[in-house]
Amino acid sequence: MKKDLDRLLEIADSAAGRISDWIEANDPIFLTSHLDADGLTAAGIMASALTRRNTPFHLRIVRQLDQVYLNEIAKDDSQRFIFCDLGSGQLPLIEDALGSSEIVILDHHPPGKEDVPSHIRQVNPHEYGFDATYEISGAGVSYLVARHLGGSNGDLAGLAVVGALGDIQDRGKQHDFVGLNKEIIIEDAIASGVVDRSIDMRIFGRETRPIHIALQYSSDPYIPGISNDPEGALNFLADLGIELREDEQWRTIASLAKEEKRKLNSELVTYMLKHNIPPREAQSLVGVVFTMVQEEKGSYLRDARMFSTLLNSTGRSNQGGIGVAICMGDRKNMLRKAETILKEYREQLALGLQWLTDDPEAIQKLQLIQTFHAKDRIPDTIVGSIAGMALNARILDWSKPVIAFVYSRDGRVKVSGRTIRRIVEAGADLGKAMKEASAEIGSGSEGGGHNIAAGATIPRGQEDQFLKIIQRILRKQLGRMKEVTSQPEESANEETIK
């Protein structure tokens, strides 16, 4: 399908017009969004836009949009509903539960149905030729509507940048944005003075963590002998003569002088090449970084990638309301609470990764996929994060998608699928695979998502059957699968630290 930006923006403007009509009529509005960083920023954008119009609303953050939840909100006095970062794949459920209520869906997941009734206004880039897995996030879609809701909402593009990073949409050259994220979102964010785009070291925690801690926790890229190795990180920096403290304060990567950064990056690249890390991966230490320039230096919110991780931790800890409050400007109590949540969240992730590292037999390798079942070892909200981090850290095999299971709180099984871009380029689509496999399992199973990251919920005891179906679907998607490595294609003329 040919891309049609004019039509997408026209639909976004139409959705904004419908919401404005609700505002003018003083109709109660019920806002629902997803619990991940993209969903929380999408909610933060829409909630901020409504607040600026002095409009009351009710907000709920959910892990999934299912029949139980929809039946529950159908009893609410509100007859005007906005769904952010979800809804397109659950349209039949929404129609069944909410009847003829007026509804706006702002989503970037592949739509599950083509026929949309007139009382539902759906803004979804997939319908206009855009690959919303990489070109725009749920928060970006919310922003396209919010900027037409009156007032000056250009600054909300900064949250859309955070949301896109939360959905790992920095898949362009040197981890830059592509598509609508690059053409509209980041341009508006820069023009509004809330985000700066530059080339720098991409080590996670560059604004907040002491240098040796940031290196120790690096998983993208993974650095052998330094990642997950405190002594290795300290020794490496000592050999370079880089001071860790200045005036009794821990130094961060962001605080290093440019020459120190260049030296650190050069030596890290040389070190990684000696340890057989592919050149393009070693060079990925330097790339595009997005700085939230109105946030304090050293804050968890200063680096947009760290901002997204902080938000994700609140949602995955079932405290997404705290994340939305931060998106709406709270920099006191809610931010302090979120920092505590992030610490606990990262401890849970570390325990999950340690389990996979200590018990390699927990990972089962099949012909086309690899799988593990966490049972009740970890919360069901973080199994996808652990699967993705385990791929980055080489605990799992890059050449095969991972299908991870965990028992969910409702007595069923949560399924998370993760893979890498090159397997997607070979034809894999985990979102479609999860949806088809769930439909075949039946018994209330649900599934869907993006081609590179997807999820499902199935009954307990159906895990082996689910894996068989997934393998059959992937075999059809991929045909004769070629070996996939972690080394991406070479590209020239990359920007460097200036």
> Is residue 172 domain-resident?
no
302, 330, 349 — which closes off a domain? 349
Mutual orientation of helices 430-441 and 463-478 as an angle, nearest 10°? 140
User: What are the DSSP E strand ranges found in 339-424?
Assistant: 364-365, 370-373, 402-407, 413-418
> Is residue 386 domain-resident?
yes
The count of C-alpha atoms lying within 13 angstroms of the C-alpha of 302, restricted to the half-sphere facing its C-beta, is 14
Residues 10 and 144 in one domain: yes
Residue 222: its pLDDT value, please? 82
326, 349, 372 — which closes off a domain? 349
Residues 335 and 364 in one domain: no
Residue 217: its pLDDT value, please? 86
Pair of tokens at residue 351: 């325990």
Residues 24 and 142 in one domain: yes
Please state, in angstroms and rounded to a whole number, the distance separating the CA atoms of residues 3 and 135.
Answer: 12
Over its C-alpha atoms, the chain yields an Rg (Å, rounded) of 22
> Is residue 218 domain-resident?
yes
* Residue 82 main-chain phi, psi, to 5 deg: -120, 130
Judging by beta carbons within 10 Å of its beta carbon (0-12, 13-18, 19+), is residue 318 exposed, middle or buried? middle
Q: State the DSSP string of 62-127.
A: ES---HHHHHHHTTSS--EEEEES-SGGGHHHHHHHHTT-EEEEE--SPPS-S---TTEEEE-GGG
Residues 258 and 285 in one domain: yes
Residues 442 and 389 in one domain: yes
> Is residue 490 domain-resident?
no
Non-local CB neighbours of 48 within 8 Å, separated by 6+ positions:
146, 153, 156, 159, 327, 328, 329
117, 136, 153 — which closes off a domain? 153
Please state, in angstroms and rounded to a whole number, the distance separating the CA atoms of residues 281 and 287.
Answer: 11
> Is residue 221 domain-resident?
yes
Residue 491: its pLDDT value, please? 38
Q: State the sign of the Cα–Cα–Cα–Cα dihedral 67, 72, 78, 81.
A: negative
> Could you state, in chain order, the average pLDDT of each consecutive group of 10 residues for the chain (498 residues)?
95 97 94 97 98 95 92 88 96 93 96 87 96 96 94 94 96 94 98 96 91 89 87 95 92 93 94 89 91 95 96 96 97 95 92 91 94 94 92 86 95 95 91 95 90 94 97 89 44 60
The CA-to-CA distance between both ends of the chain, in Å, stands at 40
Residue 114: its pLDDT value, please? 76
> Is residue 194 domain-resident?
no
Q: How far is CA 123 from the centre of its chain?
A: 19
Give residue 261's domain range.
200-349
Q: What is the reported pTM?
A: 0.89
Residue 282: its pLDDT value, please? 87
Closest CA to 474 of 404, 424, 438: 424
Closest CA to 371 of 381, 386, 358, 382: 386
Please state, in angstroms and rounded to a whole number, the distance separating the CA atoms of residues 281 and 275.
Answer: 12
Please state, in angstroms and rounded to a whole number, the distance separating the CA atoms of residues 12 and 9.
Answer: 5
User: In CATH, what number is assigned to the domain containing residue 400?
Assistant: 3.10.310.40
- Domains held by the chain: number: 3
Residue 37: its pLDDT value, please? 97
